Structure 1
Amino acid sequence: MEYDQSLLLFMGTTGVSNYAKLPSWTPDSSNSNVISEIATWERYEASRNSKTSFHFSTDEQVLYVQGAVIDSIVTTHTEFADFPSCKDVHTFIQQLCMHLSPDICQEDYVALLMALFDKAWKAGHQAFPSLRNVIRRFLGLVSETVLGKGLAEAKFFAHNEMSKRLDRKVLFRTTQGRLGFSSQHISPDDAVVLLSGCKLPMIIRSDGEAWRIVAPAFVHSDGIMEGGLWKDDIELQEFGFFEKIAVTR
């Protein structure tokens, strides 16, 4: 972090570690079955072009970062299975459909899934059917005749990409009614924050008078991923992240 003055290290955090003394902001590189990243760092600008701002305490036990709380998690839903399990298309569809519940707005859920995969979809697959229709087909909301040409290839590509991104992720709802995805290790009452110089929203957890990093998040509402809530006059506070991670598995 000090070498490149970047918070890129946060991208690999999942809220879990094999080592109790590993800092919460440091990914566990010993884990060969690590949860996949929720989004690509370079594709988003949640804090716009803000300058990275952090420093360590004199004893190097606390990392201080500037940012702002924008929301908090009120509910988490059933987690998605791991990538190998979701490679089975029937398991994958079952996992997607389990979130079609009365307490989740169907259109908001579809919009979140679309936003999560839109950039990958547009990267080189312009001939595919509408991503919205492919997702709605997986959810059983439209018939296959709506998709038309390119259905088989489109479904294969979408299934593969979505399975990777949703690997052991959990759908969450915030106090302000936003939907998002993050690591399965997040919990209700965790805070959703924007940190100066951090390209993705982060989930952090109160630990007494300090905080700890849990994991990056993807939140579609209000243009958050493109910096929609990072205003010029945003009121920043300093978060102190203690070195030791609180959860080990």
Structure 2
Amino acid sequence: MARRLSIVIFLIVLGGAALYFWNKEASSAITSSTDVSSVSSSEKSKGPISPAPAVDTSGKTQITEIASNQEPAQMMPRSRRLPKSERGSTKLNTQNAEFSESPLFADSDWKIWNGVKAVPKNAGQPSSPIVGEMTGFYLVKEDAADPSVFSASEPIVVYDARLGIAGVVTGTFSVVLKEGISPEVLTQTLGLKVLNSFPDIRTYYVTSPQEPFDLKAVQDVLKNDPSLESSEMEILSRTYEKN
């Protein structure tokens, strides 16, 4: 009887010990799982892990990503564009200048600039003093051309005191034909030379076929011809001037 009781007690103790160790292992497993979850959650809260720099076979580090907190490169400021008045352009030198009226410009404010001639720039830098510049011309101090013996190689210089600008008379006239008039009237009837034509708007640029010629005589012929709607002497006045 006593022996049976001892066996029962031994089995109870053995079972309790087994139960104790089993519970301990289960608790350890749960704790480990909890720690892993905590670490994972912590890492997620920190955001994605930046990849490590890739290293090539030469031993130099290749940067594969730019840090998100890197400052962007600053743009270089544009150079300030100076106003025209500060870029070297100056006004005409009209000091001691003399101007004379002419019947050629009776209906305008233009006057002939005495003692000034327009010299084409393609002829080179002039030796005479320059008092201004225009597109394609130097304005120099030389004896002015005579309008009654005009030549395109020696254009006349004029000046508008109201606007403060100079102009160059080229010897060309702009004419507009009346509706239905043939442009042949310009060459066959008036004996003029056509330089440019714009038939769609009935506009033609003409001059005398001979040089020298009288500017006033050509102007009067064009003004009095009944086949013309209008005529106007060409004066280049878009200037780029300097002292």
Q: Which has the higher strand share?
A: 2
Q: Which has the higher contact order (CA 8 A, sep 6+)?
A: 1
Larger Rg: 2
TM over 0.5, shorter chain: no
* TM-score of the aligned structures, taking structure 1 as reference length: 0.23
